[in-house]
Chains A and B, each alone.
Chain A
Amino acid sequence: MTAARPLTTPSGRRAPSDAKIALRDLCLEFPSRDRQQPLPLLNRITLDVAAGEFLCLIGPSGCGKSTLLMCVAGHLQPTSGACLADGTSVSGPGPDRALVFQQPTLFPWLTVQQNVGYGLRLLTNRHLRGQAELRVGRLLQLVGLQGFADRYPYELSGGMRQRVEIARALAVEPDVLLMDEPFGALDALTRLRMQNEMLKIWTETRKTVLFVTHDIMEALILADRVAVLSARPARLIEVFEVSNPRPRDRGDAALLRSAKDIGKRLDVNL
């Protein structure tokens, strides 16, 4: 038996009622400078992400995975089709869909504590201020950085910066975490450690996670479902469901077979 099996329909569509994020025939084109025709990046993507689900997007590099994520985040507007969050069309960025980037975008002029509290300070100007400090402390504890509250980003290692990045996104209590290859720039060992860390955080917070990666094993260790995208313009090829209970063993035979299957869909031999 394989750990991950393809769902019957390649669309990945679920009942609309429990969909936190719903993509309907999502198309996105960039106007190209030299050519007459616009450059298509996303080709009719239909996909549902349930509330509390951990979904990994995987595909060849440059296929448009990040573009898809930026659409959901509200930083890019689709050319046609719809991108719905909680049933309403996404019209712009907002703290209900927090982003975590591959390149750390921590503000270098703020300390770890101030970075994590950044979104909260924007909120607390209008609402509650007193809880912010407590929340930041709890989040730093969650990502294991209690002792680093007053450090500046340049004083941290790559893995630590990525943890702060995650804490900063969690601070605004988003419904959805959008993660764009968050561990892509880390060394192999740190990446494994961060994957375990991510599972711990997800188990504690139960956020809906949309996680872009090009690492098949990473996707299989983390995700409830793995959506496989084609080369540009990105099309949804197949959605695999990973049924193994967590924590998953990276050497598990079924998981390795699933990795092979996904590799085949991406024209890679594992």
Chain B
Amino acid sequence: MSIFESQGALVRKLISPLAIVLIWEATARLGWINVLITPPPTHVLQHFAEMVVSLEIVKHTASSLGRFLVGYVLAIATAVPVGVLMAWFRPVDMIVDPLVELIRPVSPIAILPLAILWFGIGDASKIFIIWLSCTFPILLSTYAGMKGLDRAFVYAATSLGANNWEVLRTVAVPSALPQIYAGMRISLGIGLIVIISSEMVAARHGLGYMILTAQQTFNVEEIFVGIIVIGLLGFSADLALRRLKSRFMPWHREI
């Protein structure tokens, strides 16, 4: 489950990334690749250290992460209840499903210009886009999890005296939790893609804005720093989500 099962496993997992970094460094030093557009890892690392000291990178990371978290939590807060209601009450399904199917295929980035008109160039338009793009995977997986409810659980619960509402609350929703979690993990990845691209379209700070500005000012080291931070951000967010899962769903085992 955890990537840190043992020291040995950790070391083995580090072999291939380290090899690539070493080859990259060597070829850059030997002049086999153009260091103007592909600087060696040591230069990137040095620039990263400078940006940490100046708090520049902290500022950009914080604003990207903040926007992402607000949009993501809002998406969970809307998608789970709506998915539950859609699966449990047919009329809700009939009303909401066509809307979902109409909006879902549209790329969130295509909606961003409209969102900027509505909510301005600040945080709100990005949060809106994150919310929109993260909602659908969670909504659909919640719906699927609820619909996949095993009849035998319902028989067992009603035979023990549960009414319809108690079946929903104590059986149907808990049994859908693994699926809801799966949707949350998918949305996590999508949300991180969308936040960076939306910041590239229009923003005054954030990692997407930082990378685009670095490209325009030919600060290639900073592009690489941005990419690395985004990678670390995605990795840590997923790790945090998995930690939360083992905390709140100790009965669920991932294979």
Q: Which residues of A contact B (CB under 8 A)?
A: 70, 73-75, 92-95, 97-99, 101, 103, 105, 107-110, 118-119, 122-123, 152-154, 168-169, 172
Contact = CB atoms under 8 A, between A and B. Distances in A.
A172 B177 contact: no
Interface of B: 150, 152-153, 155-162, 166, 170-171, 174-175, 177, 249-253
Given A109-B177, A152-B250, A122 B166 contact: yes
Nearest to B174: A109
A62 B170 CA distance: 32
16 contacts: A94-B159, A95-B159, A95-B160, A98-B159, A98-B160, A99-B156, A105-B155, A107-B156, A107-B175, A122-B160, A122-B161, A122-B166, A122-B170, A123-B161, A153-B251, A154-B253
A122 B162 contact: yes
Interface centre among B158, B174, B177, B253 (most CB of A within 10 A): B158
Contacts of B250: 152
A73 B152 CA distance: 13
B158 A107 contact: no
Contacts of A154: 251, 253
Contacts of A92: 158
Contacts of A123: 161
Given A122-B166, A152-B250, A154-B251, A97 B159 contact: yes
Contacts of A168: 160
A107 B156 CA distance: 9
B216 to A, nearest CB: 52
B153 A107 contact: yes
A172 B155 contact: no
B251 A73 contact: no
A104 B100 CA distance: 37
Contacts of A169: 159-160
A152 B157 contact: no
Interface centre among A95, A107, A123 (most CB of B within 10 A): A107
Contact of B153 (A70, A98, A105): A105
Contact of B152 (A93, A103, A118, A172): A103
B156 A109 contact: no
Contacts of B251: 108-110, 152-154
A237 to B, nearest CB: 28
Contacts of A122: 160-162, 166, 170
A172 B156 CA distance: 12
Contact of B174 (A97, A98, A99, A107): A107
B177 to A, nearest CB: 7
Nearest to A99: B159
Contacts of B249: 109
B175 A109 contact: yes
A168 B161 CA distance: 12
A207 to B, nearest CB: 14
Contacts of A98: 159-160
A154 B252 CA distance: 9
A168 B160 CA distance: 8
A97 to B, nearest CB: 7
Contacts of A70: 155
Contacts of A152: 250-251
A239 to B, nearest CB: 26
Contacts of B155: 70, 73, 75, 93, 99, 101, 105
B168 to A, nearest CB: 13
B249 to A, nearest CB: 7
B174 A101 contact: no
A130 B153 CA distance: 26
Nearest to A94: B161
A51 B133 CA distance: 60
Nearest to A121: B170
Given A99-B159, A101-B155, A172-B160, 4 more contacts: A70-B155, A108-B252, A109-B177, A152-B250
